[in-house]
């Protein structure tokens, strides 16, 4: 029986191509069912027999067409189910999802942004500045000629083109005065470099934030007022500071503003040594610096400070060793990532 043979053949198909081969074998131009009509001598049949043969042939064609379509449907359903099972094998929906990594700002960037906001609130402009400097800007313009002993305290990296990696952000004082004139109020945060023995509070690459204010009648009272505002806003609490004389060729008088160590409360520890962290050297701008900047020191006076930004970040976040900042240790940085 053609029906039985067809059904048997379709039961074993594995792919749509197998089904197509069977379709061609039975219903194709020279297929078994198609040939039935061709091989029959209709002339010898009575009208009744013709009608009967035609109906049987049609039923057979419909049977074959339906079974073939069913076989195709079955294969498609099987393929979809297999694909679904495979996908589910790859994606285990019961495993908790892994949170995307957002990254975090470096603690120095966070402190710098906070500083900028505080100073902007006091009317200071924030200025960007180059890390590779001329010897003139880094030393001479701020009253440190080549034979001055202060140069020994700030040994640095010299470039082949006679530029230096700046040792401090004070290198911007005269540049800013020349460009903006007086009155002036600005800060220059940035990276500095020194040929330094590294220990818990000294790095060869660290950040400072310079501040400069020049106007008529500026005195030490203005300097202290600005420093107090800065520290109370930064630490959001009372902190103990001390002001002691300090020498810098570009200020007169000069001071060291030290912060009472927040780790040991002033008793002394590996981070601070004697209970105080040297944080903000400062003073009234030396008349020579004003002159280098094209400002008349008889009309204007000013103050400047060079805040140790990296050390401020240490105090703010309780980081006991400065070497973490440049360590590249992700575990350190991750602690500053927002919790999601
Ligand atoms: C200066 O660099 C002066 N230019 C600061 C200044 C500016 C004085 C304006 C007066 C007026 P000093 O070398 O002390 O000064 O450095 C300033 C601050 O930078 C220090 O108090 C300290 O907090 C930080 N600092 C200096 N050297 C290092 C270092 N190797 N590692 C980390 N922080 C440092």
Is 70 exceeded by the pLDDT of residue 260?
A: yes
Give CA–CA dist 263/218, Å, rounded.
35
Domain with 289 in it: what CATH number?
A: 3.30.930.10
C-alpha angle 283-286-291 in degrees, rounded to nearest 5: 145
Residue-wise pLDDT tens digits, 75-93: 888 888 777 777 666 777 7
Same domain, 153 and 52: no
Same domain, 241 and 171: yes
pLDDT of residue 36: 86
The interaxial angle of helices 16-27 and 47-90, nearest 10 deg, is 170
Q: Is residue 95 part of a domain?
A: no
Its pTM surpasses 0.75 = no
Q: How far is the CA of 174 from the centre of ligand 1 (A)?
A: 18
Distant-in-sequence, close-in-space partners of 276: CB < 8 Å, separation ≥ 6: 242, 258, 259, 260, 261, 266
Same domain, 66 and 214: no
Is 80 exceeded by the pLDDT of residue 338?
A: no
Q: Is residue 97 part of a domain?
A: no
Supply the range of the domain harboring residue 82.
2-89
pLDDT of residue 40: 80
Atom of ligand 1 nearest to the CA of 194: 30
Q: Is residue 163 part of a domain?
A: yes
Q: Is residue 211 part of a domain?
A: yes
Number of domains in the chain: 2
Q: Is residue 239 part of a domain?
A: yes
Give CA–CA dist 279/269, Å, rounded.
16
Q: How far is the CA of 144 from the centre of ligand 1 (A)?
A: 15
Q: Which residues pair with 184 in a beta bridge?
A: 214
Atom of ligand 1 nearest to the CA of 154: 13
Same domain, 81 and 118: no
Q: Is residue 220 part of a domain?
A: yes
Is 70 exceeded by the pLDDT of residue 71?
A: yes
Same domain, 197 and 239: yes
What's the pLDDT band for 302 if we cut at 50, 70, 90? Answer: very high
Q: Is residue 217 part of a domain?
A: yes
Residue-wise pLDDT tens digits, 261-282: 888 989 999 888 999 988 899 9
**Cβ of 283 less than 6 Å from ligand 1:** yes
pLDDT of residue 83: 76
Same domain, 234 and 326: yes
Q: How far is CA 90 from the centre of its chain?
A: 31
Q: Is residue 188 part of a domain?
A: yes
Is 80 exceeded by the pLDDT of residue 101?
A: no
pLDDT of residue 340: 59
Same domain, 119 and 84: no
Task: Return the minimum-mean-pLDDT range out of 16-30, 87-101, 110-124, 283-297.
Answer: 87-101
Domain boundary among 89, 124, 151: 89
């Amino acid at each position: 029986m053609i029906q039985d043979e067809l059904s048997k053949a379709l039961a074993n198909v594995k792919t749509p191509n197998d089904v197509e081969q069977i379709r061609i074998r039975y219903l194709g131009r020279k297929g078994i069912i198609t040939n039935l009509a061709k091989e029959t001598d209709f002339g010898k049949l009575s009208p009744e027999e013709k009608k009967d043969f035609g109906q049987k042939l049609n039923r057979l064609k419909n049977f074959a067409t339906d079974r073939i379509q069913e076989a195709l449907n079955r294969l498609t359903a099987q393929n979809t189910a297999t694909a679904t099972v495979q996908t589910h094998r790859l994606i285990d929906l019961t495993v908790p999802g892994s949170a995307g990594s957002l990254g975090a700002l470096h603690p120095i960037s966070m402190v710098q942004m906070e500083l900028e906001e505080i100073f902007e609130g006091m009317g200071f402009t924030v200025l960007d500045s180059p890390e590779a400097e001329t010897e003139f800007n880094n030393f001479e313009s701020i009253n440190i000629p080549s034979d001055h002993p202060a140069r020994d305290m700030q040994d640095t990296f010299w470039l082949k083109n006679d530029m230096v990696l700046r040792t401090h952000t004070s290198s911007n004082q005269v540049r800013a005065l020349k460009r903006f004139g007086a009155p002036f109020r600005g800060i220059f945060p940035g990276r500095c470099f020194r040929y330094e023995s590294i220990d818990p509070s000294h790095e060869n690459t660290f950040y400072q934030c310079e501040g400069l204010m020049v106007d008529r009648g500026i005195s030490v009272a203005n300097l202290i007022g600005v420093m107090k505002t800065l520290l109370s806003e930064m630490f959001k609490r009372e902190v103990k500071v001390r002001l002691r004389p300090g020498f810098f060729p570009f200020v007169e008088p000069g001071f060291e503003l030290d912060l009472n160590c927040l780790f040991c409360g002033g008793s002394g520890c590996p981070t601070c040594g004697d209970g105080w962290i040297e944080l903000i050297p400062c003073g009234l701008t030396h008349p020579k610096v004003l002159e280098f900047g094209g400002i008349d020191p008889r009309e204007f006076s000013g103050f400047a400070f060079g805040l140790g930004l990296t050390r401020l970040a240490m105090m703010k976040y309780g980081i006991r060793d400065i070497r973490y900042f440049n360590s590249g240790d992700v575990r350190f940085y991750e602690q500053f990532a927002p919790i999601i």
